[in-house]
Amino acid sequence: MAPTPLTGRNTAASHANFDSIESALVALRNGEGVVVMDNEDRENEGDFIFAAEKATPELLAFTIRYSSGYICVGMDPDRLDELNLPLMVKDSTDPLRTQYTISVDAAEGVSTGISAADRSRTIGILGNFDIKNPAALRRPGHVLPLRARKGGVIERGGHTEAATDLMRLAGMNPAGALCELVNDDGTMKRRDDLALVRSSQSIHAADSLPDEDDEQDRQQCFGLVHDCALFEGVEEHVRYAAGGTVAAANILVEGQAQIAIHWEGGRHHCQRSKAAGFCYVNDVVLGILALQKRFSRVLYIDLDLHHGDGVQDAFLYSSGVMTLSLHHHDRGFYPNSGGELSEGRGNGAGYSINVPLQRGTNDNSFIHVFSAVANKMLMAFDPEVIVVQCGCDGLAGDPHKVFNLTSNAFAQPVKTVLGWGRPVLLLGGGGYSWPECARCWTRLTAIACGYDIVPETDIPEHVFLNEYAPGFDMLTDVMLIEDSNTKEYLDSIIQAIQAALPNQS
């Protein structure tokens, strides 16, 4: 059996008994298993967890030998819905509220369903997200899928959520097989038992993993290089970026206001386990998760020059979050995604909408396509709350010099969204000219407060006035470049997106 790290939510006193999360992720990617402990005041049990998509007969045989044999698979709720796997009972009386679905076996390629080979095939189907047909599984069976909470271990500190969270962190499909480890006499292995087992021949700490002192490899693993290199104060930056957005979302959840603003937010590129595109945290995703405590349908609108890939990826399988990203798309242009008009999967099919725009996009093109698409999305989705990311790197004054927008291209969409009469969370985003960002976000703040600022308005005297030279006003000077978007191209996008939207009346 390959080396297996032991990980868990541990106290300082027992910290030496645990391997790092990084080691566990490497093991999972390599098709190995990890032992995960819950809190001592909860079950105080260790579950053997491995990636469902990596299931093999040998891995199942090992699991059965050292465990209770009652093998479950913690899974993302959207995947369970896609496979039509409802809860076993409507009202669970399980003390820890574990959400069991009906049991399953693979429909083909198995005998009775109970052998290690049979169960590995069943678990492999659950973990293979390319298999979408519910008929691939027969019911009942010998494997028990478990419905994980959307918020992961933050919402519920159980092994089910630990399994799906670890798979996401490892960059795999959120489906993890799990089973409780037992002693030879059939009793459950507790923390002290597992500390001994960890160094035995059956399950032991990984000594073949990369040296954790190799800081460069660790930073590479989490994307902390190049445009996301570490800097002094990065932890404080992450706290402010994420904390501000979550605080703003909570204001809407608690009904304290209809509009909340956090211009330091909008970091839309960061993936769940990897920094990317100057984004060390994806505050947008955290904010949407906070909003879901009250709102069941969240519409996310991304006005940034770059595709909102991190947010789209987070809710790709969800029908509770609809994303709309208007951005530039071209070969080699970061993040090299967002070219497909509709990218949702499973239950999320039709809920991830992209508008790839050409070089030179001006206010008229941007506002035209936004108005046509957004209003159709409003009717099709009927959102309860809207999040708008207002990245300013598409402004004509931004160093990118790709789009040719003024603040009007942001003002009109924000006015449209506010006119829908739903709670709205306004976030910042990209922008590499501080004066241009300040001009745009100041105007959007005024609009949120019921006013508008005429672009010709002079900038008032203050310590940074020289940054607004030579005009010293709120205007963004457009460039003398051609808008490459033809009317035919924009109309074709609008028609295709309207056809792809779900639940149209």
Respond yes or no: is residue 269 known to be catalytic: yes
Answer whether 427's CB lies under 8 Å from 388's CB: yes
Packing angle, helices 21-29 and 159-169, rounded to 10: 80
Most distant pair of Cα atoms in the chain: their distance: 82
Which among 159, 262, 268, 269 is annotated as catalytic? Answer: 269
Strand partners, 427: 262, 389
Closest by alpha carbon to 289, among 265, 266, 311, 271?
311
Beta-strand ranges (E) seen in 136-205 are 137-147, 175-180
Three-state DSSP string of 91-112: CCCCCCCCCEECCEEECCCCCC
**Measured on CA atoms in the order 270, 276, 278, 280, is the torsion positive or negative?**
positive
Nearest one of 160, 189, 161 to 72, comparing CA atoms:
160
In the sheet with 385-389, reading across from the earlier edge strand, the strands are 259-262, 424-427, 385-389, 298-302, 321-328, 352-357
By the 8 A CB rule, do 282 and 310 touch? yes
Contact 456, 419 (CB under 8 A): no
CA angle centred on 246, ends 245 and 252, rounded to 5°: 95
Can you tell me the distance from the alpha carbon of 96 to that of 108, in angstroms, rounded to the nearest whole number?
34
Residues catalogued as catalytic: 269
